Amino acid sequence: MKLSESNYQHFKQALLAQKNALQKEAEKTVEEGLNVDSEDLADSIDRSSVETERNFTLKLRDRERKLIKKIDEALERLEAGSFGVCEVCEEDISLNRLKARPIATLCIECKEEQEKQEKHNEQ
């Protein structure tokens, strides 16, 4: 897909802004830390609650780390000129789909087919 200069800049800025926001959240987690002094917790319910929250935060950060990787890959495709091309059928991904999900690597038809296959494999 050949992007206009304005679309190129739009997607580049959107991807970089999303990456920056995710990195700030990760830095915030590191700065605040995940450690809690067990002496500050009155009972096992408090400790359990803190542990659950910590696990949730770690899972969230792991998902964000994976998303940052996808953003970096989208930025690479943008620079290489392959941004917006479906990796399965090699047709253009619609501009509306890219605006909704700039990291998309599949056109809507191929994505729907992938989801059908995943659903079928789960059964």
- What is the predicted pLDDT for the residue at 62? 92
Cα gap 38→45, rounded to integer Å:
12
pTM of full prediction above 0.75: yes
Task: Show me where the domains of the chain are located.
Answer: 1-82, 84-123
- What is the predicted pLDDT for the residue at 42? 64
- What is the predicted pLDDT for the residue at 25? 87
- What is the predicted pLDDT for the residue at 33? 66
Cα gap 75→115, rounded to integer Å:
25
**Positions of the chain with pLDDT lower than 50, given as ranges:** none
Q: For residue 5, what are the CA distances in angstroms to 25, 53, 81, 100, 101?
A: 30, 44, 12, 19, 19
- What is the predicted pLDDT for the residue at 65? 94
Topology of domain 1-82, CATH: Four Helix Bundle (Hemerythrin (Met), subunit A) (1.20.120)
Reported as a single tens digit per residue, the pLDDT across 22-54 is 999 888 877 776 655 555 556 777 778 878 888
Would you mind telling me the total number of residues written for the chain in this entry?
Answer: 123
